């Protein structure tokens, strides 16, 4: 007997810059993603380079009908996607939007609704118009708050009858780790002080709150949430210093949701600011704006980390947030530790902290997949490893539901293969739909259903009843 509620929102998640392609079509402006060929660790190039796989992505821009049809075949109730801000305002500071960009998303939303799929739309998913990055230094500038507010009001007004679920910023707590792609900040990371970073964070939090206010005014029947990079932090040992170090790291991440859910800065931030000589410029209007709080909390979940007060302990490779690998856990091909129970733990932490609905909007396994041909001529990927990963995590989601956590839904990350954010590779595949594109850019872009496609379809059809427990 399934413990998932009848209205549980099953689906998948993607980001515009990782699958749309068409980076310079129909008036779209450039973003930082068009200049980062190798992922978040690499310095941006001056101009887009041909070996940047994101420029074509998986060509969703021209193939969205086929892809949404496949999502519908899997039984999606919801599709989490993002709007490319630079399709709507190519430079970011214009008054008038780009009609071709608005029209594209009209078509995508109509296609989703045709199949009864609710769009869940992220307003800014690791991208900002490049002009705002180069001219204003992204979120370091207070002026960008107004540009973002104008953009959000434009899309809320345009899509008010089509989109009921919105998110403000993707993984907003990543800005201090990835200031260029997460915060649109042009100044090199090594030149930024904590004062610079936290002032940029403040501007982004105010912008998020203004988007919430605008959404509630323009689409009162809609729900709008925040989105954080969810990483449970365990002490490496029971040594009290390790426990306190884990608490401090946890607070660095919860700081963002604390402000967006509660509407004010948490008390623990005062010590952080004082000890790092951070003096934020906060206006009375900012304080008023921040009181416009989100309706739910959404997050990505891929791994947990450990923390230690011992500086000789090595951080793990590949993870944006850092942290020390847990000796009790196995890791993926990219060194991300696999911890299904950590998802249950984190769901409980969030709900205990906020008593607001939570939504798992990213979870999945990045792996090297092999396309094979079956005796009947069908091409597929026998990805039992992905099925096992998703099954084990969803079993823990069910446990959290039994714990009393109010969970809105689950959207698996990269439900169709796309370009990785962290490494800008296509070989790091998350999807349940295989896309024939190779690391050198070659391939037909044809779509093939993996074994996990049929498994997930059955999970959704049975509302979780067919999970292996």
Active site residues per annotation: 362
What is residue 468's three-state secondary structure?
A: coil
- Asked if residue 234 lies in contact with residue 306, where contact means CB atoms within 8 angstroms, the answer is yes
- Asked if residue 467 lies in contact with residue 399, where contact means CB atoms within 8 angstroms, the answer is no
List Cβ neighbours of 224 (8 Å cut-off, separation of 6 or more): 165, 166, 167, 168, 211, 212, 215, 216, 294, 295
**What is the C-alpha separation between 5 and 240, in angstroms, rounded?**
40
Task: Decide: residue 13, CB within 10 A, 0-12 exposed, 13-18 middle, 19+ buried.
Answer: buried
Sign of CA dihedral 16, 18, 20, 25: positive
**What is the C-alpha separation between 453 and 89, in angstroms, rounded?**
36
Task: Decide: residue 409, CB within 10 A, 0-12 exposed, 13-18 middle, 19+ buried.
Answer: buried
What is residue 122's three-state secondary structure?
A: strand
DSSP state of 190: G
Nearest-CA neighbor of 57 among 357, 311, 426, 332? 426
What DSSP assignment string belongs to 312-371?
TSPPPSS-SS--BPPTT--B-TTSPBP-HHHHHHHHHHHHHHH-S-EEEEE----B----
């Amino acid at each position: 007997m399934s413990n998932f509620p009848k209205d549980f929102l099953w689906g998948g998640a993607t980001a515009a810059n990782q699958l749309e392609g068409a980076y310079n079509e129909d008036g779209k402006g450039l973003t930082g993603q068009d200049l980062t060929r190798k992922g978040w660790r690499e310095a941006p190039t001056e101009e887009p380079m041909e070996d940047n796989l994101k420029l074509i992505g998986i060509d969703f821009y021209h193939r969205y009908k086929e892809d949404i049809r496949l999502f519908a075949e899997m039984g999606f109730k919801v599709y989490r996607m993002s709007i490319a801000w630079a399709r709507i305002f190519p430079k970011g500071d214009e008054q008038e939007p780009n009609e071709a960009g608005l029209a594209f998303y009209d078509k995508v939303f109509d296609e989703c609704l045709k199949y009864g799929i609710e769009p869940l739309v992220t307003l800014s998913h690791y991208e900002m118009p490049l002009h705002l990055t180069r001219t204003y230094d992204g979120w370091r500038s207070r002026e960008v708050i107004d540009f973002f507010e104008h953009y959000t009001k434009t899309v809320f007004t345009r899509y008010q009858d089509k989109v009921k679920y919105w998110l403000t910023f993707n993984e907003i707590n990543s800005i201090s780790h990835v200031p260029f792609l997460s915060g649109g900040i042009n100044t090199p990371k090594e030149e930024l002080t904590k004062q610079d970073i936290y002032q940029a964070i403040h501007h982004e939090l105010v912008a998020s709150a203004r988007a919430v206010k605008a959404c509630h005014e323009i689409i009162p029947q809609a729900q709008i949430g925040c989105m954080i990079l969810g990483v449970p932090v365990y002490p490496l040992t029971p040594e009290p210093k390790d426990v306190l170090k884990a608490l401090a790291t946890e607070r660095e991440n919860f700081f963002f949701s604390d402000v967006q859910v509660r509407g004010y800065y948490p008390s623990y931030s005062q010590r952080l600011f004082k000890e790092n000589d951070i003096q934020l410029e906060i206006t009375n209007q900012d304080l008023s704006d921040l009181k416009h709080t989100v309706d739910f909390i959404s997050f990505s979940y891929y791994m947990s980390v450990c923390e230690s007060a011992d500086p000789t302990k090595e951080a793990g490779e590949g993870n944006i947030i850092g942290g020390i690998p847990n000796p009790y856990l196995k890791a993926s091909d990219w060194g991300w530790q696999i911890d299904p129970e950590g998802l249950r733990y984190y769901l409980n932490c969030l709900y205990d902290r906020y008593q607001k609905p939570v939504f798992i909007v990213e979870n999945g396994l990045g792996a090297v997949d092999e396309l094979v041909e079956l005796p009947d001529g069908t091409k597929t990927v026998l990805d039992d490893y992905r099925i096992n990963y998703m099954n084990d995590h969803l079993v823990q989601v069910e446990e959290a539901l039994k714990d009393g956590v109010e969970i809105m839904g689950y959207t698996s990350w990269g439900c169709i293969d796309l370009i990785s954010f962290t490494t800008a590779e296509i070989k790091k595949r998350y999807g349940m739909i295989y896309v024939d594109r190779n690391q050198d850019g070659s391939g037909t872009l044809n779509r093939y259903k993996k074994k996990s496609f049929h498994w997930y379809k059955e999970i959704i059809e049975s509302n979780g009843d067919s999970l292996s427990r």
